[in-house]
């Protein structure tokens, strides 16, 4: 969980932890396989800015405010101790909601890492941030694998509508999912 401003969750073959400066090369590698295009747009020059992004992500994680920008954490595959991707959240200025973000590199897709990380992180999020009653997921309707990740992580489809995400050149049909805090 989160101690001294650092997140570390180990469960079912993965570790979710704060992004560290040593993760920069791994994220550059992930970007080179196209894994970050939906999040960052064109990543051809990522070698020039990835270190700054890693440092910014680490600073934002220490501030621990999901209503101010984004929070990003590394997904570590315990089998080989490598960065498999990232999970976290981003505040949507247009909808005034916090949404989950996730991706895994090509080598880790189809193995359940993204679904597992999204499920673990979203449960952690809803327990840790008591003032935020739910987390959304916005997924392009044609991104079937990512839709399955959201559903496997416990998100329920609320609606499908035209939406233009930050790096979209035009509006696309998006599925809007929601995961609420369980009532006890």
What is the per-residue pLDDT across 165-175, written as a single tens digit (0 to 9) for each? 877 889 999 99
Q: Is the confidence at residue 154, as pLDDT, over 80?
A: yes
Provide mean pLDDT across the span 138-156: 96
Q: What is the mean pLDDT of the chain?
A: 89
Tabulate helix, strand, coil % of the chain (nearest 5). 35, 35, 30
């Amino acid at each position: 969980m989160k101690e001294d401003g650092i997140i570390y969750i180990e469960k079912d073959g993965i570790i979710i932890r704060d992004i560290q400066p040593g993760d920069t090369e791994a994220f550059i590698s992930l970007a080179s396989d196209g894994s970050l295009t939906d999040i960052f747009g064109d990543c051809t020059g990522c070698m020039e800015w990835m270190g700054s992004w890693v440092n910014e992500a680490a600073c934002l994680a220490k501030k621990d405010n999901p209503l101010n920008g984004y929070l990003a954490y590394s997904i570590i595959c315990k089998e080989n101790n490598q960065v498999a991707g990232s999970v976290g959240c981003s505040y949507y200025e247009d909808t005034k909601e916090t949404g989950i973000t996730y991706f895994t590199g090509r080598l880790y897709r189809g193995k359940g890492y993204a679904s597992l990380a999204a499920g673990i992180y979203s449960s952690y999020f809803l327990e840790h941030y008591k003032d935020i009653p739910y987390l959304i997921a916005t997924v392009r309707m044609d991104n079937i694998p990512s839709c399955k990740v959201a559903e496997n992580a416990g998100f329920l489809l609320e609606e499908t509508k035209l939406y233009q995400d930050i790096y979209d050149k035009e509006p696309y049909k998006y599925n809007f999912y929601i995961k609420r805090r369980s009532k006890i």
